[in-house]
Amino acid sequence: MMHFAPATEVRTARATRLLVVRRRSRDFREAALSELPSLLSPQDVVVVNDAATLPSSVFGTARGQAIEVRLLALPNGSREADAVLFGEGDWRTPTEHRRAPLDLQPGDTLRVASLEATVVSLTTPKRVRLRFESGRDAIIAALYRAGRPVQYAHMRAPLALWDVQNVYASEPWAAEMPSAGRPLDFAMLDALRKRGVAVARLTHGAGLSSIGDAATDASLPWVERYRIPAETLELVSKAKRVVAVGTSVVRALESSALPGAPSEGTTSLRIDAGHELRVVGSLLTGMHDATTSHADLVAAFVPPALIAEASRFAQARGFLGHEMGDVCLILDD
């Protein structure tokens, strides 16, 4: 099974390495990230997810025990939000070793970040729906005062909120960073535009990459919110080729192409090798292990045997994986 060594520190865009995989010619190579604009063509459209990353991890107590709450999104008009709960532990403990809080039931009260919330329902011992007593403004203020971004045990130091924001980040919708866009700094965005490549935006509430339970993780990604501006839809409709930056962009664009689908809503679309791509032709994505839901989506772009061979090449050359790792450009030529 292919496993990439994780990046253990926040790296600059220039330190990021690029693997290029071509589907039709079935070849691959390492390239400098600076080559990205030349690998694309004028009239191509690169679509990014401009969701800012929330400080979605907050600590508190429930039934006298220490807990961590990871919100999947900000509470809605009814003050309810879906969340994942962990029991005692800190960011140095890998997610797969974090247990659920003991014996929580609907009606139990949680106290986190000066907020009070009630357990409405439990899908699993870790996945719950909460109802907050405070209004939305108070919840947001409390999160930004006491919350922090989701942490990763393989990092050498805790991540600050500014470490997990893309340069074009806008509204706080993402539970975890839409990390495929991390290498796209202002210099790269300018180089793409000078090449004649349009850069368009959409907003997708990227969820959690894992909750540390194999059976539940197999159901990822869960229902997520998206919004595609009219100008992005117009650019996409006229594009020579659409290059999605990250799997969340693929889900949003492919969902919008379904019959009768709105340009803003929620999506439960799960993309895998059986999905016929309607909008997106190419993909810029991180290096992720073959056991993740990300690998299933990549199979819609390239045959698993090709991506496995390319991954072995990248692993042998020391490419790094996970959120702060290197990236792969999958081209449909």
CA dist., res. 87 & res. 61, Å (int): 9
- Looking at 87, 115, 146, the residue that finishes a domain is 146
Same domain, 21 and 61: no
Q: What is the pLDDT of residue 232?
A: 97
Same domain, 95 and 48: no
Cβ-proximal residues to 181 (8 Å cutoff; 6+ apart), any chain: 48, 49, 166, 168, 245, 246
Same domain, 196 and 122: no
Say if residues 172 and 54 touch (Cβ distance below 8 Å): yes
Q: Which of 114, 166, 177 is nearest to 144 (CA)?
A: 114
Same domain, 30 and 122: no
| CATH code for position 125 | 2.40.10
Per-residue pLDDT tens digits for 263-289: 999 999 999 999 999 999 999 999 987
Per-residue pLDDT tens digits for 129-183: 999 999 988 999 999 999 999 999 999 999 999 999 999 999 999 999 999 999 9
The backbone region for 64, taken as left when phi is positive above 0, alpha when psi lies in -120 to 50, beta otherwise, is: left
Report residue 2's pLDDT band, with 50, 70 and 90 as the boundaries: low
Per-residue pLDDT tens digits for 306-320: 999 999 999 999 999
Domain that holds residue 125: 57-146
Q: Which DSSP symbol is given to 98?
A: P
Same domain, 132 and 213: no
Give the helix/strand (H/E) hosting 267.
strand 264-267
Same domain, 65 and 178: no
- Looking at 146, 178, 197, the residue that finishes a domain is 146
| CATH code for position 172 | 3.40.1780.10
CA dist., res. 283 & res. 237, Å (int): 17
Same domain, 327 and 218: yes
The model carries a pTM of 0.96
Count structural domains, the chain.
2
CA dist., res. 330 & res. 333, Å (int): 9
